[in-house]
Copies of this chain bind each other. A is one copy, B any other.
Amino acid sequence: MSKIALTQTVQKGGCAAKVAASELRKILSQVKFPAPHRELLVDGGLFDDAAIYKINSELAMVQTLDFFTPIVDTPKLFGRIAAANSLSDVYAMGGRPKTAMGILAFPLATMPESVIVDVMQGASDVISEASANFVGGHSIDDDTLKFGLSVTGFVHPDRIWTNAGARVGDVLILTKPLGTGAITAALKRQAVREDDIQDAILSMSQINNALDFFSDELMGAIHAATDITGFGLSGHSMQLAKASGVTLKICFDSLPQFPQLIKFLEEGFLTKAHRSNAEYTEDQMDSSCLSPLQRLVLHDPQTSGGLLLVVEKHAANKIVEALQSQFVAVSIIGDVVAKRTHAVLID
């Protein structure tokens, strides 16, 4: 254990430190961006953190960028989580990461250098697990620690996973449990020790490499995908439903959750994103059958959360089986129905 508890060195941790998406969109609408080149298959749009550039008919490049302040106390674990989180954007689009560059802001005056070593070692280990290369980066002397990666990878242009391909009858699969928002909020407020939330830390440190577990047949059964991060299951489900022109029906009782989540929500360990995600999805999600507490599970912002895979019904069980060895909580959580008034229905 490091003597410095990293979460106590920052005011806002993880995704809570992001500039709110709605605010950013409003600001950036005033910038005159030129039309994107036609090689851009996925445009990062208004400062989204992932884009795809077509190199030729068989190869496209994925580029992503993500960084944040510490959400756990142990430097090596922070490095692992930040790396897994950054790599996730490539996996979520069906790509394989190849190179990663570090973004490091470090308080040289107040933090021992060993913290850098540990953060980097954690990141390097996870980048290796992803069979990618840690190829360098840029560091800056700053008041608070921040770390993340810009990752590039490759994907076949005809096999890009987007959030626009969901079809009526498809099945929804979530690869990781929900709850990292409230759990890391409890850690930051010192209501729990890092040792007591090892399951959440392990999950956040895990790379979202589902690809390597899929046969060609299973690959063909994936119609859409997204990773669950700051907008929570509610926000990312809503985005996917709207992009695909369908409604997602999610069974609350099927959702994988970390065991401590409900307790921490009950005790009020909330982030700004719990509220903003509720507001963001207010008009588009029917969760009338849930208690206010249950609703917070859906709005819980995830750091390095799981993939939401939208798959052909006949392949759903095979996909769950294929992933179980690596993603212990992987679950079928609902299905896709024809578009209704609400983009997301909870039952």
**Chain B contacts of A105 at CB under 8 A?**
105, 146
* A227-258 with Cβ < 8 A to chain B: none
A4 interfacial by beta-carbon distance below 8 Å: no
A106 to chain B, nearest CB (A): 6
CB contact list, A110-157 vs B, under 8 A: 113-114, 116-117, 120-121, 124, 128, 133-144, 146, 148, 150, 152, 154
Task: Check A19–B139 contact: CB distance below 8 A.
Answer: yes
Please tell me if A37 contacts chain B, counting CB pairs below 8 Å. Answer: yes
Residues A47 and B141 in contact, CB atoms below 8 Å apart:
no
Kindly identify which residue among B61, B140, B144 contacts A152, using a CB–CB cutoff of 8 Å. B61
Choose among B44, B120, B140 the residue that contacts A68 (Cβ–Cβ < 8 A): B140
Task: Judge whether A48 and B140 touch: CB under 8 Å.
Answer: no
Taken residue by residue from 18 to 50, chain A's Cβ proximity to chain B (1 for < 8 Å, 0 otherwise) reads as 110001100110111110110110011111111
Flag whether A103 is at the interface (Cβ < 8 A): yes
Q: Residue of B at shortest CB range from A37?
A: B133
Of all chain B residues, the one with the shortest Cβ separation from A40 is B133
Is there contact, CB below 8 Å, between B63 and A150?
yes
Stretch of A94-102, A166-174, A273-281, A315-323 lying at the B interface: A94-102
Interface-forming stretch among A51-59, A182-190, A204-212, A290-298?
A: A51-59
Number of copies: 2
Q: Which residue of B is nearest A102, CB measured?
A: B47
Contact check, A143 vs B140: say whether CB atoms are below 8 A apart. no
A101 and B150 contact, Cβ closer than 8 Å, known pairs A43-B135, A128-B34: yes
Contact A18 B49 (CB under 8 A): no
- A12 in the interface (beta carbon within 8 A): yes
A141–B18 touching, CB < 8 Å: yes
Does A192 belong to the interface (CB within 8 Å)?
Answer: no
Contacts of A59 in B (CB 8 A): 55
Q: Is residue A191 within 8 Å, beta carbon to beta carbon, of the partner chain? A: no
Q: Which of B53, B121, B154 contacts A31 (CB 8 A)?
A: B121
Report the separation of the CA atoms of residues A103 and B63 in the bound assembly, to the nearest whole angstrom: 13
Among candidates B45, B63, B101, residue contacting A49 with C-beta atoms closer than 8 Å: B101
Q: Are B101 and A51 in contact (CB under 8 A)?
A: yes
Task: Across the interface, name the chain B residue whose C-beta is closest to A66.
Answer: B138
User: CB of A269 within 8 A of chain B?
Assistant: no
A178 contacts chain B at the CB level, 8 A cutoff: no
User: B139 and A30: CB pair below 8 A?
Assistant: no
A108 CB–B CB distance under 8 Å: yes
- Residues of B near A121 (CB, < 8 A) are 31-32
Are A53 and B133 in touch, CB under 8 angstroms? yes
25 A-B pairs within 8 Å (CB atoms) are namely A12-B141, A18-B139, A19-B141, A27-B117, A30-B114, A34-B124, A36-B133, A39-B98, A43-B133, A43-B136, A47-B136, A47-B137, A47-B138, A51-B99, A51-B133, A53-B99, A53-B133, A61-B61, A61-B152, A63-B99, A65-B136, A101-B150, A105-B105, A138-B148, A143-B143
Given A30-B117, A40-B99, A65-B101; 12 other pairs, CB 8 A cutoff: A19-B106, A24-B139, A27-B113, A27-B116, A31-B120, A31-B124, A40-B135, A51-B99, A51-B136, A53-B99, A63-B152, A101-B150
